[in-house]
Amino acid sequence: MTAPTPRSDSLDLIGNTPIVLLAGPSEAAGCEIWGKCEFANPGASVKDRAALWIVRDAEGRGELKPGGTVVEGTAGNTGIGLALVANALGYKTIIVMPDNQSQEKMATLRALGAELVLVPPTKFADPNHFVHTSRRLAEETPGAVWANQFDNVANRRAHIEGTAPEIWEQMGGRLDGFTCAAGTGGTIAGTGMGLKAFDENIRVALTDPFGAALYNYYAHGELKAEGSSVAEGIGQGRITANLEGAPIDTQFRISDEEGLEWVARLLREEGLALGLSSGINVAGAVELGRQLVAEGREDARVVTILCDTGFRYLSTLYNAEWLRSKKLPVFDWLG
Ligand code: PMP
């Protein structure tokens, strides 16, 4: 008997995620709302895609060599993706993150073998901001590259070449709208660009949380933030290189309360355990669906991103004390 040959490489498990019709959101919008299940990636978030493309790009440019180190500043999910990809390819990872992120993300990064550097949460202009600290560490560490997910467009290429064609194929070439929130902007810009290349009439909407500046930028041309959000991984205050030229047709602003209501409903009614950015995305997709229906397009189909798993937020979103401390409604089954 011959030894079984592996079907594929572990990195081939990144992407090609399932897409699911969301019943509650579809009913609320009056048209079909679909969710792309990015929590099904090996690192349980959409950021595995960017991590793989950033590492492959650095290798391709000859900057990342065997035994090298990948350094990044990240709210967590990119770090998790980078740590897994780096392990698979024999690299080390150093991750810099603000110390107000969820305990689960920090514990996960440590468990995956990443070296973790925690810094206080500060404004981007502060030289000790996690992004600047990670750049400095990459410069100081021999054989290291800086992933630079905000301004490295290998990030959005992951979505132009991966997420968008997957959605197009899974929807049988028939969709009318796409929306999601922006952290680096890689997902919205890349998926938006990729989908428009198939059909320029697909309406691309930015769903922005409060505390981010992009809603006002796309609505009024002014980068201005209002309010705040507890959502991790989203909420951008500037036009990153990944956001440059993003084909945004319209924009919505969604509160944490609205996002949390969808997190609760998707869990209890559809058995999906998600993070808050997914809830905010779904709320935005419902808005986009309603907008299309109001224009007489009852057969509209809208796609959004289910960014990461709710298991990453057991001590926050799924914890009554934490929700109360943030003056947010507590899921009734948590007490
Ligand atoms: N949701 C979560 C939970 C994230 O970690 C991120 C990445 N920062 C996003 C959404 C946004 O993705 P992007 O960086 O591609 O804009």
Scan for tokens 């998790």, then name that residue: 80
Q: What is the pLDDT of residue 148?
A: 97
Per-residue pLDDT for 186 more than 80?
Answer: yes
The pLDDT of 275-296, averaged and rounded, is 98
The question of whether 105 is a catalytic residue gets the answer no
| CA 250 to each of CA 33, 198, 208: distance values in angstroms, whole numbers, following the listed order | 17, 19, 11
Q: What is the pLDDT of residue 333?
A: 93
Report d(CA 159, CA 48) in Å as an integer: 11
Can you tell me whether residue 154 is helix, strand or coil?
helix
38-97 per-position pLDDT tens digit: 999 999 999 999 999 999 999 999 999 999 999 999 868 999 999 999 999 999 999 998
Per-residue pLDDT for 30 more than 80?
Answer: yes
The pLDDT of 253-270, averaged and rounded, is 98
Report d(CA 131, CA 240) in Å as an integer: 13
Per-residue pLDDT for 332 more than 70?
Answer: yes
Ligand 1: residue of 39, 41, 47 to mutate (most ligand atoms within 8 A of CB) is 47
Mean pLDDT score across all residues of the chain? 95
Prediction pTM value: 0.95
Per-residue pLDDT for 1 more than 90?
Answer: no
Atom number in ligand 1 closest to CA 159: 15
Cα(107) to ligand 1 centroid in Å equals 19
| CA 307 to each of CA 31, 38, 54, 304: distance values in angstroms, whole numbers, following the listed order | 22, 5, 18, 9
With cut-offs at 50, 70 and 90, classify the pLDDT of residue 221: very high
How would you write 248-309 as a 3-class SS string? CCEEEEECHHHHHHHHHHHHHHHCCCECHHHHHHHHHHHHHHHHHHHCCCCCCEEEEEECEE
Q: What is the pLDDT of residue 2?
A: 62
Q: What is the pLDDT of residue 311?
A: 93
Q: What is the pLDDT of residue 335?
A: 82
Per-residue pLDDT for 124 more than 90?
Answer: no
Query: Whose Cα sits closest to atom 3 in ligand 1?
Result: 233
Phi–psi pair at 239, nearest 5 degrees: -90, 100
With cut-offs at 50, 70 and 90, classify the pLDDT of residue 219: very high
Residues paired with residue 303 on neighbouring β-strands, in sequence order? 34, 178
Instruction: State the DSSP code for 185.
Output: S
Per-residue pLDDT for 7 more than 60?
Answer: no
CATH class for the region spanning 46-152: alpha beta
Per-residue pLDDT for 3 more than 90?
Answer: no
Q: What is the pLDDT of residue 230?
A: 94
Record the tokens describing residue 186, joined without a space.
């890689």
Q: What is the pLDDT of residue 75?
A: 66
The pLDDT of 142-164, averaged and rounded, is 98
The pLDDT of 205-220, averaged and rounded, is 98
Are the C-beta atoms of 292 and 286 separated by less than 8 Å? no
The pLDDT of 2-8, averaged and rounded, is 60
With cut-offs at 50, 70 and 90, classify the pLDDT of residue 4: low
Atom number in ligand 1 closest to CA 186: 15
Ligand 1: residue of 37, 45, 101 to mutate (most ligand atoms within 8 A of CB) is 45
Cα(76) to ligand 1 centroid in Å equals 9
Phi–psi pair at 299, nearest 5 degrees: -95, 15
Per-residue pLDDT for 292 more than 80?
Answer: yes
Atom number in ligand 1 closest to CA 182: 16
- The better pLDDT of the pair 196, 102 is held by 196
Are the C-beta atoms of 301 and 176 separated by less than 8 Å? yes
User: If one looks up domain 10-41+154-326 in CATH, what number appears?
Assistant: 3.40.50.1100
Q: Identify the residues whose C-beta falls under 6 Å from ligand 1.
A: 45-47, 75, 77, 181-187, 232-234, 275, 277, 307-308
Domain boundaries, the chain: 10-41+154-326, 46-152
- The better pLDDT of the pair 6, 233 is held by 233
Cα(78) to ligand 1 centroid in Å equals 8
